[in-house]
Amino acid sequence: MRPEALLGTADLPDALRALLKRVSRSFYLSLAILPVSLRRPISLAYLLARTADTITDTRILPRTDRLRYLDAFRAELDSSSPPRLAEIGGALGVPQRLPVERELLACLPECFRLFRALPEGDYARIRTLLLALIQGMREDLRTFPGESQENLVALESQADLERYTYYAAGCVGEFWTDMTMAHRPGLLHWDAAAMRRRGICFGQGLQMTNVLRDLAHDCRIGRCYLPRQDLHALGLSVNDLLDPLTLERLQPLLRELLRLSLGYYAEGWRYLLAIPPKEIRLRLACAWPLFIGLRTLEVVQRSHNLLDPHITVKISRSAVYAIMARSTLLVFSDGALERYYRVLRNRIRTPIDV
């Protein structure tokens, strides 16, 4: 069976579903393959989170304004009416460079209407997720005061990096676990606390891959997620990362962060194996980002241009489709999936295996 044949559409109104596909990029694959009972609330959660992210990233507006609009967005999570949604959309819609982001902001009242109509449990879980994501966005805006390489700032420590990856994606793994346990009777046997921890690590592994992949680009907009303390231990300053020739001196820290990422992925793999084989759609929704993330991490590790902002570090679309096709064929078998996971994992060279 072709993986595309499994992708569902009965989730959101047509306009929002089309918008979701345009703004969610590769994550749309996981959203579309989800069981019907999960597809609508998780897709809606994504649209709301993506809107908050758009508020955070509207760099043409001063940070004080973006923080104010994030506060207004957060206030709506407890409101029974949308008195400020039009204000948010009107103020932020015009500066958007991409039409899809203007459209996303214009759809905010409809997204909130659907959000408030959800069953109480789904509403509460999505609200908890959004509050965590907004907390991380606010911290990001306060940590990085500039918008260019002239104002480049690094996180201070690995504890700060761990905190960042939790608020950026680890909390999503926690939310995903709570949602799937609430909607899929086949997961009633799960140890909820253990699976939440694994879900957090799964999300952190995916975000660490983004941190490493996007290192050069982030530095050009004033953000370095590599800890300053670790750079200092190598005799480097954050501004040294603006020189692509610094890559060789940076390798010890990159190897350490690679090992950290692979540890997160190992927990993500245990998470995937805990999903019963009969939960085909849920398995694939987790397998695709896991395997695509590992392949991306391999490209990151092999790149000689990781600090060059003119080079895009990513896997090809054909590689993504190949991963989807192969994992769809293997999804019924723990053994076959594990062999594939080991193949992808072992293509990443590390001095100390995870």
Q: Which of 81-85, 87-91, 160-164, 172-176 has the lowest mean pLDDT?
A: 81-85
Distance CA(129)–CA(305), nearest Å, equals 35
Q: What is the pTM of this model?
A: 0.92
Contacts for 345 with CB less than 8 Å, ≥ 6 apart: 262, 265, 294, 354
Residues 80 and 15 in one domain: yes
pLDDT over 70 for what percent of the chain? 91
Lowest mean pLDDT of 27-31, 150-154, 160-164, 276-280, name the range: 27-31
Q: Are residues 239 and 92 in the same domain?
A: no
Mean pLDDT of the chain: 91
Asked if 97 and 162 sit in the same domain, the reply is: no
Task: Name the residue type at position 189.
Answer: H
Residues 79 and 154 in one domain: no
Question: Could you tell me if residue 138 is inside a domain?
Answer: no
Question: Residue 123 domain-assigned?
Answer: no
pLDDT tens digits for range 229-244: 999 999 999 999 999 9
Residue 65's pLDDT is 87
Task: Indicate the range of 4-13, 180-189, 198-207, 317-326 predicted with least confidence.
Answer: 4-13
CA separation for the pair 87, 100 (Å, rounded): 18
pLDDT value at position 314?
Answer: 92
Whether residue 157 sits in one domain with residue 83: no
| Residue 322 in domain | yes
User: Is residue 239 domain-shared with residue 346, that is, in the same domain?
Assistant: yes
- If asked whether residues 86 and 218 sit together in one domain, one would say no
- Measure the CA–CA gap between 190 and 329, rounded to whole angstroms: 25
- Closest Cα partner for 184 from 85, 301, 46, 280? 280
Distances (CA, A) of 217 to 146, 297, 313: 14, 17, 10
Residue 137 lies in a domain: no
Q: What is the CATH number of the domain that holds 306?
A: 1.10.600.10
Distance of alpha carbon 19 from alpha carbon 103, whole angstroms: 8
- 292 φ/ψ angles, rounded to the nearest 5 degrees: -65, -40
Which segments of 214-246 does DSSP mark as H helices, in order? 215-220, 228-233
Same domain, 208 and 353: yes
110 and 164 together in one domain: no
Counted domains in the chain:
2
Q: Residue 70 above 80 pLDDT? A: yes
pLDDT tens digits, one per residue of 275-309? 999 999 999 999 999 999 999 999 999 999 999 99
CB 151 within 8 A of CB 222: yes
Q: What are phi and psi of 223, to 5 degrees?
A: -125, 125
Query: From CA 92, how far away is CA 84, in angstroms rounded?
Result: 12
- Mean predicted confidence (pLDDT) in 166-174: 98
Structural domain that includes position 3: 1-118
Evaluate if residue 4 carries a pLDDT over 50: no
Buried b (16+ CB within 10 A) or exposed e, 75-94: ebbeeeeeebbeebbebbbe
Higher pLDDT, 273 or 349: 273
Region of residue 58 (phi > 0: left; psi between -120 and 50: alpha; otherwise: beta)? beta
Q: Which residues pair with 224 in a beta bridge?
A: 154
User: 11 falls in which pLDDT band (50, 70, 90)?
Assistant: low
